[in-house]
Structure 1
């Protein structure tokens, strides 16, 4: 941990002099150290911090200068982190049920990811990352399960712009495993113009970085083309190899309509479910061939999905590196 992570003693005293110090609700009467973030103080236990974090374990072993201020004999360690983030982290450490709740606000998940990554708290980091990957899985079977209700998130509290903010959080903290699915969800829901605008929510703007925008804009065009190529999800709309087995004169017209619909609307449907196509009115023979083609094509798209967004293959995606 570099010295830049903590304030110098003179800076610490200046901040204490300039701002009213507030005692947090996280104040353990038998605590052995005071953590201060901004002007908020938290009294906690070195033993709890050191047990969970290699960084705090190293800090606990450092001698305390005799001229440094204390509170009831407890050293004051001033952190450069956001006070709200520190509060979320300490709740996760001290309240066993906190980070196991079914729903958490993204602010809490983000705080735990940022600080558990910074202070090397592996269990909390893994738990928070798992919450993101539960929304944006790494297998097609899991994707199909969550897609049964694609408008709702299951582990993170919903609000307008949440998708943008989740991607921004994952990308900034090098959480790569959920990104292919998250990016795909974004480019499927939003036009290129909407990606650049972001989403307004309660007076704030949810948006993604320039790197994420470039990835999504490029992938949008690639997916539009790739999904209609032979061997991919909708390639059968453009090239049909089963004419002699069709039992209905309507099937060719339906295929032509499906192709025109995707071309005219720039509609990304590269992971379309075969069951969604059963209602289009194909004859039994064509229905079987369409289902087989879509099943194989979407599997191929899924396997290649990270590459559309300039990411490593699924098996090489890492988190927090």
Structure 2
């Protein structure tokens, strides 16, 4: 078997050699042990006299892919490598997150999960601001990749927002085979069922915004509030129209306050009251995302993510 040294991770004064597939990495066991409790325990095990050696160093055969181990070791031993790769390479994110979770390198695992949490956040307000983060570009139209990351990183706290994004795709896209990285069948079912539940909740919100369902606005700036009450009726059709025109007819939460359009004949006090009601109800829907997708509560998801 021909073995190849990884030049970027072959330190002449390194004191342990790791082999993944046919690739060799000569690194520092002390630094690796400091980073990983798993490696620390591994290195404490007594080695028999017949233990394999390579270049006068202990040789440890790893059961991982060479590519993913290279990603992980670069993140451990190369300053700045992790930060430079976060927004560039989904293969790096998957590989480094999988192995940092497997070998309990929490500094790397948590850094990657924290970055993913910026675009698949716990709160609706955070979701509104997700596009500000560079890592977001890697997942446009590819939220199913993030589902794989949540699995390999044991970070289910990311799943409600991920499944919400996946639920915005067509049913055909959801059910398609996305290759080795993507939604499993349980998640595909959750997307389709969750979409139906969210749409039911959103239609209830539309009914709440009908003029006859709204409480009187005590601060109405128009005489009697009657003109405002009549004009409020235009907002429900606007919401319905927006839902129909949005990609795949299902994106009620992705805009930030632009669903309700102020128009002539509506005072600002009544409009602000309408917006407050609308956003409070959207937040209530967001809080129920785990329930809609058949997941544990937000609190249980956070506890299971060990963050």
Tell me which interval the TM-score lies in, with the shorter structure as reference length.
0.7 to 0.9
What corresponds to 2:220 in structure 1? none
Instruction: Summarize the Cα distance change of 1:140–1:97 in structure 2 as closer, same or farther, 3 Å threshold.
Output: same
Structure-2 separation of matches of 1:187 and 1:126: 26
Residues 3-37 of structure 1 deviation map (CA, whole Å, 9 limit, x = unaligned): xxxxxxxxxxxxxxxx3211112101011111000
Structure-2 separation of matches of 1:280 and 1:209: 46
The 3-state SS of whatever aligns with 2:259 is helix
Structure with the largest fraction of helix: 2
What corresponds to 1:171 in structure 2? 151
Residues 24-55 of structure 1 deviation map (CA, whole Å, 9 limit, x = unaligned): 12101011111000110000111111111111
Residues 183-218 of structure 1 deviation map (CA, whole Å, 9 limit, x = unaligned): 112213x1222211256xxxx676311011011111
The 3-state SS of whatever aligns with 2:60 is strand
2:239 to 258, 264, 270: 258
The 3-state SS of whatever aligns with 1:158 is helix
Alignment check: 8 A CA contact 2:97 2:109 kept: yes
Residues 164-189 of structure 1 deviation map (CA, whole Å, 9 limit, x = unaligned): 1111221354311111111112213x
Structure-2 separation of matches of 1:172 and 1:118: 9
What corresponds to 1:290 in structure 2? 274
Instruction: Summarize the Cα distance change of 1:279–1:252 in structure 2 as closer, same or farther, 3 Å threshold.
Output: closer
The two structures have a TM-score, normalised by structure 1, of 0.80
Structure 1: stretches of 5+ with no match in the other structure:
1-18
Residues 243-272 of structure 1 deviation map (CA, whole Å, 9 limit, x = unaligned): 873416554355245347647975341465
Structure-1 separation of matches of 2:167 and 2:207: 17
1:236 to 198, 209, 213: 209
Structure-2 separation of matches of 1:72 and 1:160: 46
Residues 206-242 of structure 1 deviation map (CA, whole Å, 9 limit, x = unaligned): 631101101111101000101121xx47741596325
What corresponds to 1:304 in structure 2? 288
The two structures have a TM-score, normalised by structure 2, of 0.83
Moved more, 265-274 or 163-172: 265-274
What corresponds to 1:127 in structure 2? 111
Moved more, 179-188 or 165-174: 165-174
Structure-2 separation of matches of 1:312 and 1:289: 33
> How large is the Cα RMSD of the aligned pairs?
2.9
Alignment check: 8 A CA contact 1:246 1:283 kept: no
Structure 2: stretches of 5+ with no match in the other structure:
217-223
Instruction: Summarize the Cα distance change of 1:180–1:233 in structure 2 as closer, same or farther, 3 Å threshold.
Output: farther
Structure-2 separation of matches of 1:23 and 1:252: 71
What corresponds to 1:196 in structure 2? 175
Structure-2 separation of matches of 1:277 and 1:258: 7
Task: Count how many residue pairs are aligned between Structure 1 and Structure 2.
Answer: 292
